[in-house]
Chains A and B, each alone.
Chain A
Amino acid sequence: MSKRRTEKELEQWFDGELDEAAFDESRIENDPDLSVHLAVLRALRSGARQAVPAPAIADAQFPAFMAGIREGIEAPRARLGGFWAYASIVTAALIVSVSLLVIFSQGPANVKAQTEVESVSSDIEGATFDTHRSEDGSATIWINTAGEDLW
Protein backbone atom coordinates (compact mmCIF):
# COMPACT_ATOMS: atom_id res chain seq x y z
CA MET A 1 0.00 0.00 0.00
CA SER A 2 1.45 3.31 -0.98
CA LYS A 3 2.55 5.73 1.63
CA ARG A 4 0.23 8.44 0.31
CA ARG A 5 -2.75 6.13 0.38
CA THR A 6 -1.92 5.19 3.93
CA GLU A 7 -1.73 8.83 4.95
CA LYS A 8 -5.06 9.48 3.30
CA GLU A 9 -6.65 6.63 5.23
CA LEU A 10 -5.11 8.05 8.40
CA GLU A 11 -6.62 11.51 7.63
CA GLN A 12 -10.04 10.01 7.02
CA TRP A 13 -9.79 8.00 10.23
CA PHE A 14 -8.67 11.15 12.11
CA ASP A 15 -11.62 13.09 10.72
CA GLY A 16 -14.01 10.29 11.69
CA GLU A 17 -14.84 9.42 8.13
CA LEU A 18 -13.71 5.78 8.51
CA ASP A 19 -14.99 3.11 10.86
CA GLU A 20 -12.57 2.22 13.56
CA ALA A 21 -12.44 -1.30 12.21
CA ALA A 22 -11.48 -0.05 8.76
CA PHE A 23 -8.21 1.37 10.00
CA ASP A 24 -5.60 -0.55 11.98
CA GLU A 25 -4.31 1.91 14.59
CA SER A 26 -1.28 -0.32 15.29
CA ARG A 27 0.17 0.80 12.01
CA ILE A 28 0.64 4.26 13.51
CA GLU A 29 2.87 2.89 16.24
CA ASN A 30 4.85 0.85 13.77
CA ASP A 31 5.32 3.58 11.18
CA PRO A 32 7.26 6.69 12.31
CA ASP A 33 6.07 8.65 9.29
CA LEU A 34 2.45 7.98 10.19
CA SER A 35 3.13 9.06 13.76
CA VAL A 36 4.57 12.35 12.55
CA HIS A 37 1.65 12.83 10.17
CA LEU A 38 -0.85 12.19 12.95
CA ALA A 39 0.98 14.72 15.15
CA VAL A 40 0.71 17.31 12.35
CA LEU A 41 -3.01 16.63 11.98
CA ARG A 42 -3.53 17.07 15.71
CA ALA A 43 -1.56 20.36 15.67
CA LEU A 44 -3.66 21.67 12.81
CA ARG A 45 -6.86 20.74 14.57
CA SER A 46 -5.71 22.47 17.76
CA GLY A 47 -4.76 25.66 15.89
CA ALA A 48 -8.04 25.74 14.02
CA ARG A 49 -9.99 25.49 17.28
CA GLN A 50 -8.08 28.51 18.71
CA ALA A 51 -8.87 30.78 15.70
CA VAL A 52 -11.54 33.46 16.29
CA PRO A 53 -14.71 32.31 14.74
CA ALA A 54 -16.04 34.75 12.10
CA PRO A 55 -19.46 36.13 12.96
CA ALA A 56 -22.07 34.54 10.91
CA ILE A 57 -25.30 36.12 9.79
CA ALA A 58 -28.24 33.97 10.28
CA ASP A 59 -30.98 33.83 7.69
CA ALA A 60 -33.35 35.79 9.96
CA GLN A 61 -30.76 38.52 10.32
CA PHE A 62 -30.01 38.87 6.60
CA PRO A 63 -32.74 41.45 5.72
CA ALA A 64 -31.61 43.75 8.51
CA PHE A 65 -28.02 43.28 7.40
CA MET A 66 -28.83 44.35 3.83
CA ALA A 67 -30.88 47.33 5.09
CA GLY A 68 -27.81 48.54 6.97
CA ILE A 69 -25.69 48.17 3.83
CA ARG A 70 -28.17 50.31 1.83
CA GLU A 71 -28.27 53.01 4.53
CA GLY A 72 -24.50 53.25 4.47
CA ILE A 73 -24.44 53.60 0.71
CA GLU A 74 -27.21 56.23 0.54
CA ALA A 75 -26.09 58.33 3.53
CA PRO A 76 -24.66 61.72 2.40
CA ARG A 77 -20.96 62.25 2.95
CA ALA A 78 -19.85 64.82 5.51
CA ARG A 79 -19.22 68.09 3.56
CA LEU A 80 -16.07 69.29 5.20
CA GLY A 81 -15.09 70.92 1.85
CA GLY A 82 -18.13 73.27 2.06
CA PHE A 83 -17.01 74.57 5.44
CA TRP A 84 -13.49 75.30 4.24
CA ALA A 85 -14.72 77.06 1.10
CA TYR A 86 -16.99 79.29 3.20
CA ALA A 87 -14.19 80.03 5.64
CA SER A 88 -11.84 80.89 2.78
CA ILE A 89 -14.30 83.34 1.23
CA VAL A 90 -14.94 85.07 4.55
CA THR A 91 -11.22 85.30 5.28
CA ALA A 92 -10.48 86.74 1.84
CA ALA A 93 -13.25 89.34 2.24
CA LEU A 94 -11.88 90.28 5.66
CA ILE A 95 -8.35 90.71 4.34
CA VAL A 96 -9.50 92.87 1.41
CA SER A 97 -11.68 95.04 3.65
CA VAL A 98 -9.00 95.59 6.26
CA SER A 99 -6.48 96.45 3.55
CA LEU A 100 -8.82 98.98 1.94
CA LEU A 101 -9.65 100.48 5.31
CA VAL A 102 -5.97 100.91 6.18
CA ILE A 103 -5.21 102.51 2.83
CA PHE A 104 -8.06 105.00 2.81
CA SER A 105 -7.93 105.84 6.52
CA GLN A 106 -4.39 107.10 6.27
CA GLY A 107 -3.96 110.83 6.22
CA PRO A 108 -2.65 112.68 3.20
CA ALA A 109 0.72 111.38 2.10
CA ASN A 110 3.72 113.59 2.73
CA VAL A 111 3.83 115.41 -0.57
CA LYS A 112 7.37 115.86 -1.72
CA ALA A 113 6.60 116.60 -5.37
CA GLN A 114 6.03 120.11 -6.70
CA THR A 115 3.21 121.82 -8.51
CA GLU A 116 3.57 121.24 -12.22
CA VAL A 117 1.80 122.65 -15.28
CA GLU A 118 0.87 119.75 -17.53
CA SER A 119 -0.70 121.57 -20.49
CA VAL A 120 -1.66 125.08 -21.62
CA SER A 121 -3.79 126.34 -24.51
CA SER A 122 -5.88 129.31 -25.59
CA ASP A 123 -8.71 130.12 -27.98
CA ILE A 124 -7.00 133.46 -28.69
CA GLU A 125 -5.27 133.38 -32.02
CA GLY A 126 -1.56 134.04 -31.81
CA ALA A 127 -1.33 133.62 -28.05
CA THR A 128 1.97 132.29 -26.71
CA PHE A 129 2.81 130.82 -23.33
CA ASP A 130 5.67 130.51 -20.92
CA THR A 131 5.63 128.30 -17.85
CA HIS A 132 8.17 128.04 -15.07
CA ARG A 133 8.47 127.04 -11.45
CA SER A 134 9.53 129.40 -8.71
CA GLU A 135 11.85 128.77 -5.79
CA ASP A 136 8.90 128.76 -3.39
CA GLY A 137 7.39 125.79 -5.26
CA SER A 138 4.67 127.78 -7.04
CA ALA A 139 4.13 127.37 -10.76
CA THR A 140 3.60 130.28 -13.16
CA ILE A 141 1.82 130.48 -16.51
CA TRP A 142 2.44 133.64 -18.54
CA ILE A 143 0.15 134.22 -21.52
CA ASN A 144 1.19 136.72 -24.14
CA THR A 145 -1.50 137.87 -26.56
CA ALA A 146 -0.49 139.57 -29.78
CA GLY A 147 -1.49 143.17 -30.35
CA GLU A 148 -3.27 145.57 -28.03
CA ASP A 149 -6.74 144.10 -28.13
CA LEU A 150 -7.80 140.86 -26.59
CA TRP A 151 -8.92 139.50 -29.96
Chain B
Amino acid sequence: MVRSLSSAILIFCGWALAQTASADEERVTFEMVAIQATSEGRDQPAFDENLSDLKETLRELPYDTYKHLVTTKISTAYNKEARFPIDARYTLIVKPVKKEHDGRIVVETRIEAVEAVEADKQKPPVNALKATSTMVPGDRLKLHGLKLETGKLVIVLTARV
Protein backbone atom coordinates (compact mmCIF):
# COMPACT_ATOMS: atom_id res chain seq x y z
CA MET B 1 0.00 0.00 0.00
CA VAL B 2 2.89 2.32 0.81
CA ARG B 3 4.48 1.60 -2.57
CA SER B 4 1.21 2.28 -4.41
CA LEU B 5 0.68 5.55 -2.56
CA SER B 6 4.25 6.64 -3.22
CA SER B 7 3.93 5.81 -6.92
CA ALA B 8 0.71 7.81 -7.13
CA ILE B 9 2.36 10.78 -5.45
CA LEU B 10 5.37 10.65 -7.76
CA ILE B 11 3.12 10.47 -10.82
CA PHE B 12 1.28 13.53 -9.56
CA CYS B 13 4.59 15.32 -9.10
CA GLY B 14 5.54 14.57 -12.69
CA TRP B 15 2.21 15.87 -13.96
CA ALA B 16 2.51 19.06 -11.91
CA LEU B 17 6.01 19.70 -13.24
CA ALA B 18 4.76 19.17 -16.80
CA GLN B 19 2.10 21.81 -16.20
CA THR B 20 4.70 24.30 -15.05
CA ALA B 21 6.88 23.55 -18.08
CA SER B 22 3.97 24.30 -20.40
CA ALA B 23 3.79 27.83 -18.92
CA ASP B 24 7.07 28.63 -20.66
CA GLU B 25 5.46 28.09 -24.11
CA GLU B 26 3.13 31.08 -23.65
CA ARG B 27 2.89 33.36 -26.68
CA VAL B 28 2.49 37.12 -26.94
CA THR B 29 0.32 38.75 -29.60
CA PHE B 30 1.45 42.12 -30.91
CA GLU B 31 -0.68 44.52 -32.92
CA MET B 32 1.11 47.23 -34.86
CA VAL B 33 -0.62 50.20 -36.43
CA ALA B 34 1.62 52.31 -38.70
CA ILE B 35 0.48 55.86 -39.40
CA GLN B 36 1.64 58.72 -41.55
CA ALA B 37 1.41 61.91 -39.48
CA THR B 38 1.64 65.45 -40.83
CA SER B 39 1.10 68.97 -39.55
CA GLU B 40 -1.18 70.92 -41.92
CA GLY B 41 -2.31 73.73 -39.72
CA ARG B 42 -5.69 72.31 -38.78
CA ASP B 43 -7.65 73.58 -35.83
CA GLN B 44 -8.74 70.10 -34.93
CA PRO B 45 -6.79 66.91 -35.65
CA ALA B 46 -8.10 64.72 -38.46
CA PHE B 47 -7.99 60.94 -38.34
CA ASP B 48 -8.58 58.24 -40.91
CA GLU B 49 -11.66 56.11 -40.23
CA ASN B 50 -9.38 53.16 -39.48
CA LEU B 51 -7.85 55.11 -36.62
CA SER B 52 -11.01 55.89 -34.66
CA ASP B 53 -9.90 53.68 -31.76
CA LEU B 54 -6.62 55.53 -31.50
CA LYS B 55 -7.86 59.10 -31.53
CA GLU B 56 -7.25 59.77 -27.87
CA THR B 57 -3.86 58.07 -28.00
CA LEU B 58 -2.75 60.10 -31.04
CA ARG B 59 -4.24 63.42 -29.96
CA GLU B 60 -1.33 64.23 -27.67
CA LEU B 61 1.23 63.97 -30.52
CA PRO B 62 2.46 67.14 -32.24
CA TYR B 63 0.60 66.48 -35.54
CA ASP B 64 -2.86 67.32 -36.77
CA THR B 65 -3.41 64.88 -39.62
CA TYR B 66 -3.18 61.10 -39.30
CA LYS B 67 -3.36 58.70 -42.22
CA HIS B 68 -3.50 54.96 -41.71
CA LEU B 69 -0.73 53.01 -43.47
CA VAL B 70 -0.92 49.38 -42.28
CA THR B 71 -2.20 47.29 -39.35
CA THR B 72 -0.61 43.93 -38.62
CA LYS B 73 -1.14 41.42 -35.83
CA ILE B 74 1.45 38.71 -35.10
CA SER B 75 1.71 36.14 -32.32
CA THR B 76 5.16 35.03 -31.24
CA ALA B 77 6.82 33.08 -28.46
CA TYR B 78 9.21 34.56 -25.97
CA ASN B 79 12.67 35.31 -27.38
CA LYS B 80 11.35 34.97 -30.94
CA GLU B 81 11.33 38.00 -33.22
CA ALA B 82 8.25 39.11 -35.12
CA ARG B 83 8.73 41.31 -38.22
CA PHE B 84 6.18 43.94 -39.24
CA PRO B 85 6.91 45.40 -42.68
CA ILE B 86 5.73 49.02 -42.89
CA ASP B 87 6.88 50.29 -46.25
CA ALA B 88 9.85 49.95 -48.58
CA ARG B 89 12.09 51.68 -46.09
CA TYR B 90 10.97 50.71 -42.58
CA THR B 91 10.35 47.42 -40.82
CA LEU B 92 9.37 47.06 -37.18
CA ILE B 93 10.92 44.08 -35.37
CA VAL B 94 9.54 43.08 -31.98
CA LYS B 95 10.76 40.43 -29.54
CA PRO B 96 9.12 39.59 -26.21
CA VAL B 97 11.91 38.76 -23.80
CA LYS B 98 10.22 37.69 -20.58
CA LYS B 99 7.22 38.14 -18.38
CA GLU B 100 7.74 39.96 -15.12
CA HIS B 101 6.19 38.90 -11.82
CA ASP B 102 3.72 41.77 -12.02
CA GLY B 103 2.46 40.56 -15.41
CA ARG B 104 4.28 43.15 -17.51
CA ILE B 105 6.21 41.98 -20.55
CA VAL B 106 9.75 43.04 -21.35
CA VAL B 107 9.79 43.81 -25.07
CA GLU B 108 12.67 44.72 -27.36
CA THR B 109 11.64 46.81 -30.36
CA ARG B 110 13.67 48.14 -33.24
CA ILE B 111 12.86 49.89 -36.48
CA GLU B 112 15.09 48.83 -39.33
CA ALA B 113 15.61 51.44 -41.99
CA VAL B 114 16.98 50.93 -45.49
CA GLU B 115 18.50 53.86 -47.32
CA ALA B 116 16.58 54.56 -50.51
CA VAL B 117 19.20 54.06 -53.24
CA GLU B 118 19.45 52.02 -56.41
CA ALA B 119 19.16 48.31 -55.95
CA ASP B 120 22.81 47.66 -56.80
CA LYS B 121 23.93 50.19 -54.20
CA GLN B 122 21.88 48.90 -51.30
CA LYS B 123 23.49 49.23 -47.91
CA PRO B 124 22.67 46.90 -45.07
CA PRO B 125 19.72 48.13 -42.97
CA VAL B 126 20.42 50.16 -39.86
CA ASN B 127 18.54 50.30 -36.61
CA ALA B 128 16.96 53.71 -36.81
CA LEU B 129 15.45 53.13 -33.38
CA LYS B 130 16.10 50.53 -30.71
CA ALA B 131 14.16 50.42 -27.48
CA THR B 132 13.54 48.11 -24.54
CA SER B 133 10.26 48.59 -22.74
CA THR B 134 8.30 46.90 -19.99
CA MET B 135 4.77 46.80 -21.34
CA VAL B 136 1.51 46.30 -19.52
CA PRO B 137 -0.60 43.92 -21.63
CA GLY B 138 -3.18 46.04 -23.41
CA ASP B 139 -1.28 49.32 -23.02
CA ARG B 140 0.13 51.10 -26.06
CA LEU B 141 3.69 52.02 -26.93
CA LYS B 142 4.00 54.91 -29.40
CA LEU B 143 7.10 55.40 -31.55
CA HIS B 144 7.19 58.50 -33.73
CA GLY B 145 9.55 60.94 -35.46
CA LEU B 146 11.19 58.97 -38.27
CA LYS B 147 10.86 60.67 -41.61
CA LEU B 148 8.62 59.42 -44.42
CA GLU B 149 8.42 60.74 -47.95
CA THR B 150 5.70 62.98 -46.55
CA GLY B 151 5.34 63.60 -42.86
CA LYS B 152 6.56 61.45 -39.99
CA LEU B 153 6.10 57.79 -39.13
CA VAL B 154 3.99 57.00 -36.07
CA ILE B 155 3.81 53.42 -34.81
CA VAL B 156 1.35 52.31 -32.14
CA LEU B 157 2.27 48.92 -30.65
CA THR B 158 0.08 46.87 -28.31
CA ALA B 159 1.01 43.59 -26.59
CA ARG B 160 -1.44 41.01 -25.33
CA VAL B 161 -1.03 37.56 -23.71
- Residue numbers of A with Cβ under 8 A of B are 83, 86, 90, 93-94, 96-98, 100-101, 103-105, 108-124, 127, 134, 136-145, 148-151
Contacts and interface: CB of A to CB of B under 8 A. Distances in A.
A100 B56 CA distance: 42
A105 B22 CA distance: 10
B135 A115 contact: yes
A150 B131 contact: no
Nearest to B14: A97
Q: Is the interface of B mostly helix, strand, loop or mixed?
A: mixed
Counting chain A CB atoms within 10 Å of each CB, the highest count among B16, B127, B137, B146 belongs to: B16
A19 B161 CA distance: 117
A90 B144 contact: no
Contact of A120 (B106, B130, B146): B130
A121 B113 CA distance: 14
Contacts of A149: 147
B141 A122 contact: no
Interface residues of B, number: 45
Interface centre among B20, B57, B161 (most CB of A within 10 A): B20
A100 B134 CA distance: 25
A143 B143 contact: yes
A118 B75 CA distance: 23
A114 B139 contact: yes
A142 to B, nearest CB: 5
B104 A145 contact: no
B136 A150 contact: no
A137 B134 CA distance: 12
A137 B139 contact: yes
A67 to B, nearest CB: 34
Interface stretch (B4-12, B45-53, B78-86): B4-12
Nearest to A144: B145
B115 A151 contact: yes
Contact of A138 (B16, B57, B106, B127): B57
Contacts of A148: 147
Contact of A118 (B17, B133, B145): B133
Nearest to B61: A140
A115 B115 contact: no
A101 B21 CA distance: 10
A116 B104 CA distance: 10
Contact of B57 (A105, A114, A136): A136
A105 to B, nearest CB: 7
22 contacts: A90-B6, A94-B12, A97-B17, A101-B19, A109-B102, A111-B102, A111-B137, A112-B102, A113-B134, A116-B133, A118-B106, A119-B130, A121-B130, A121-B131, A122-B129, A136-B57, A137-B139, A138-B57, A138-B141, A142-B144, A142-B145, A150-B146
